[in-house]
Structure 1
Amino acid sequence: MIRLHCLHAHPSNQSYIEDVFGDTDLALYHTVDSSFIERATQDPTFDHHKQQAYAINKLMQEDKADLTLLTCTQYIAALGEQQHLFKQPIVPIDEPVFELICEKKESLQLVFSNPATVEGTMKRLESYAKDRGKQIDAEVIVMEDVFHLCLNGDMQAYEEQIKKQLRRCIKKSGDICVMQLSMVRASQQMEEETGVPIIHPLSPLKQFVYQTISALKE
């Protein structure tokens, strides 16, 4: 049985992954590492170099997994291009979304609720697109002063803020993509309410993980 180890920086992410893979033949194991986000948001000395060293050290401990799924975009940005250091494949939650974005011909609105993830994520997206010879037509929309609601566990207030932003996005031209896992439920609710499709990190995840597993077996 394939062991999929999921590394989360916030406990709310665990249920999203259970929803996607709960009916599959994968053995799911979850680790919640909340100390990373706490340090990243509260300790000014915890710079990118220290964050990367922390992420590498933590992932080196996940040696019993067949593959590891990272659900925190800030953790992913800290790791950068160091996936080659690990014997098991590392699947960043945003990479399947990158693939979808690169295939889009229309303009996109990329919505973030955590400003700290924007620079690292966009740098990785631009590198991903360049490697594949793709051009991205995207507007980056950053929500300010809302992510603390998620970190404090006030998910109802957090999701209301997400939906308020998505209503504004729907009035504009361009497809909408939310870039963080914590934004998924609000985006799904908006899809049901308005009928407007919204891309989110779970949309392509199952297929991407199974493609990675197939590559492992070859």
Structure 2
Amino acid sequence: MRKKLGCLHAHHSNIEYIEHAFQNIDNVELVHFVDPGLIQQVSKGTNGLAVKVKEQLEWMASCSIDVILITCTNYIALLEEEQLDLSIPIIKIDEPYFETVYEEKQPQTILFTNPETVEGTMNRLQQYAEQHEKSIDVVAKVIDDAFELIMQGKKEAYNTAIRQTLQHVARGQRQISVAQLSMVEAAQQFEKESALTITHPLKTLVKFVMRSIE
């Protein structure tokens, strides 16, 4: 029996990444929900936004969805699960990403393009470490002025900015990862060009989701 995976995105450009990741999974039907308004609101402050996230997830659950996948780190950071009363699993895209990050033992640099996602993601990373009694040396770095490019639909310029930063950061001695789904394509391109391994949110996502569905 096919399961419906409801995917909540903050930007339509993330749809193709999830579609590509699940293209060979026959028993999963993807249903996409996109609400870019939250990104605009976060820059003004987070007061009241948790209520909006709650309403969005409840709306998705009412659409005969079996599992919810949240692909936006802003949504994840604002989520107050204790306020939800849903009977279906909620998967946060940063959870399998955190697993992958902590499998690496060497020091790491985590790249972001959206500065508004850094604090929430790094706080959750620390919480994950404490819950799983793990420890690792990680630092966050924002690629300045890049996020505006993807918001303006300038995808190639966005990817170029990320690849250039990856090339610069790769000269150091730290493992590199990209924290946002919108950065995955550039990371994969750089992997092919450099033969280096870049950790990103899609590395183990499908396996993680299938464990939750099964």
TM norm. shorter chain > 0.5: yes
- The question of whether the paired residues in 1 share the 8 Å contact of 2:54 and 2:84 is answered with no
Pairing partner for 2:38 from 19, 36, 39 = 36
% identical equivalent positions: 40
SS in 1 for 2:12: coil
2:53 corresponding residue in structure 1: 55
Question: What per-residue deviation string (whole Å, max 9, x for no partner) do you get for residues 24-81 of structure 1?
Answer: 120110111122223223xx2xx32311111011101112211111111111111155
Gaps of 5+ in 1: none
Q: Distance in 2 between matches of 1:69 and 1:200?
A: 16
Which SS does the other structure have where 1:49 is aligned?
coil
Would you say 1:73 and 2:73 are equivalent positions?
Answer: yes
- Find the counterpart in structure 1 of residue 191 from structure 2: 191
Give distance in 1, aligned partners of 2:19 and 2:82.
27
What pairs with 1:34-183 in structure 2 (closer than 5 Å)?
34-41=36-43, 44=44, 47-63=45-61, 64-82=64-82, 85-183=85-183
- CA gap of 1:12–1:132, structure 2 versus 1, over 3 A, is same
Deviation, structure 1 residue 106: 1.1
The answer to whether the 8 Å contact 2:106/2:136 transfers is no
* Preserved contact between residue 83 and residue 89 of structure 1 (Cα < 8 Å): no
Q: Give the TM-score of the pair, scaled to structure 2.
A: 0.93
Cα deviation code 1:87-117 (max 9, x no counterpart): 2111111110111112221111111111000
**1:192 and 1:164 mapped to 2: Cα distance?**
14
Q: Offset at 1:199?
A: 0.7
Q: How does 1:12-27 map onto structure 2 within 5 Å?
A: 12-24=13-25, 25-27=27-29
Aligned length: 210
